[in-house]
Amino acid sequence: YFTEYIENRVYSEDKAFMNEAIALDTIIEKLNNSDEYSSSYRIEENGELHFYEFKYMKLNTDTIIVGIMNIDKIVNDAKEKEKLIVLSETDRMTGLLNRVSGEQKVEENLKNGKGGLFILLDIDHFKSINDTLGHGIGDQVIIQVANCLKTAFRENDIVFRLGGDEFSAYAAEVHDKKIAKSIINRFIDNLKTIEISELGDSKITASIGAIILEQGEPADFADNYKLIDKGVYESKKVKGSHVTFM
């Protein structure tokens, strides 16, 4: 029965897995370690994929029962929950993490002694852009700067918008100043490629404060945030994009 079931109903990419998963040797091995053995797989019906789960249960030494259940609702509910979590953590304009989510993630890493590169930045003369060209152009600038930051850092780094024209980023694995500078310089180079016709020849620049924290020692988020905020202030004294390490 199961051979026919797998051949005719199970999704093609899951057939090999299912043949191995329900082989007698596999079932015996799994039930020797636990009273239950289950896994999920997919069925293709009328061109649509549906999620199912099989479950083997050992009632006693002589009796094993097996059941199959459609778990579409469970899977879809989990996906919906994941979407809601992502939405709650995301800055709608830029697609980066929002302030609450970003700060929580950085704080957790610092408390656990991961150290790493922690930066804060804001866009130079942003208020002037908003006042003279309007909020629509200001929004374009924010989105472009966010993209520049996103591509300068890696996917597993924490990049977030604090609000307005302020951004922050944290890379737990970066403990070398040379590497840190190369990441920040990549971001600064990315800024030079921004093209918004309404800006004319004006270029977008940013003032950046940065710190590299040693691995192994717990660090306080608030204290280090204040430090890199001072770094932003110092960078503003220099014309063009500039980073100050604290």
Question: Residues 163-168: what's their mean pLDDT?
Answer: 91
Q: Which residue has the tokens 């199961």?
A: 2
Burial 62-84 (b: 16+ CB within 10 A, else e): eeeeeeeeeeeeebeeeeeeeee
What CA–CA distance (Å, rounded) separates 239 from 206?
Answer: 10
Helices (H), 90-196: 99-111, 126-133, 135-152, 177-192
The alpha carbon torsion through 25, 29, 32, 38 (nearest 10 deg) reads -100
Tell which wins on pLDDT, 37 or 114.
114
pLDDT tens by residue, 222-234:
999 999 999 999 9
Q: Which two tokens stand for residue 196?
A: 């918004």
What CA–CA distance (Å, rounded) separates 104 from 194?
Answer: 30
pLDDT tens by residue, 128-137:
888 888 888 8
pLDDT at 86 over 70: no
Q: Answer yes or no: pTM beyond 0.85.
A: no
**Residue 53, Cα to own-chain centre: how many angstroms?**
29
